[in-house]
Structure formats: structure tokens, C-alpha cells
Amino acid sequence: MQIKDLSKYTNAEKILLAEQIWDSVSKKDVELSKDTEQELDYRLQLLEEGKTELYSMNDVKKHIAKIRKK
């Protein structure tokens, strides 16, 4: 596969292309190791049981900015 010069495309066009590529990937074709599958199942279980905290992207950005200043 050859990637052509993407700089001639607008950001919006590149985003649309990325979305089309992402949507073309079949979930059935994604292979996970047993360890990864177990970890994802564990995290999903914690989420469903309300035993995990969720953060907004703004909160994450603020946290990263805060720890970078140290």
C-alpha cells in the first residue's frame, strides 16, 4: 500500500477519509490476545457495576497540564 501526499487535502477531508477507513474495519477481524480480552472484560464489568470513575476530556487535559508543571 502506498500513502500519497495528504497535505493537499483539507483537515475535514482527512477526517472523512479516516472515518471511512475506520468504518471499513470489521469488528470480527480484530484479533485480541487473551490477556487483552480479559482486561477489557474486567474494565467493562467495573463500569457496569459503577466501580470506576469516568473523566471528561477537559478534566484529563487539566490533569496532564498540572502534572507537566511539576
Asked whether the predicted pLDDT for residue 24 surpasses 90, the reply is no
pLDDT digits (tens, 9 = 90+) for 32-66: 899 999 999 999 999 999 999 999 999 999 999 99
- How many CB atoms neighbour CB 31 within 10 A? 7
- Whether the CA torsion 6, 7, 13, 16 is positive or negative: it is positive
Nearest to 13, CA basis, from 5, 1, 27: 5
Instruction: Tell if the pTM clears 0.75, that is, is over it.
Output: no
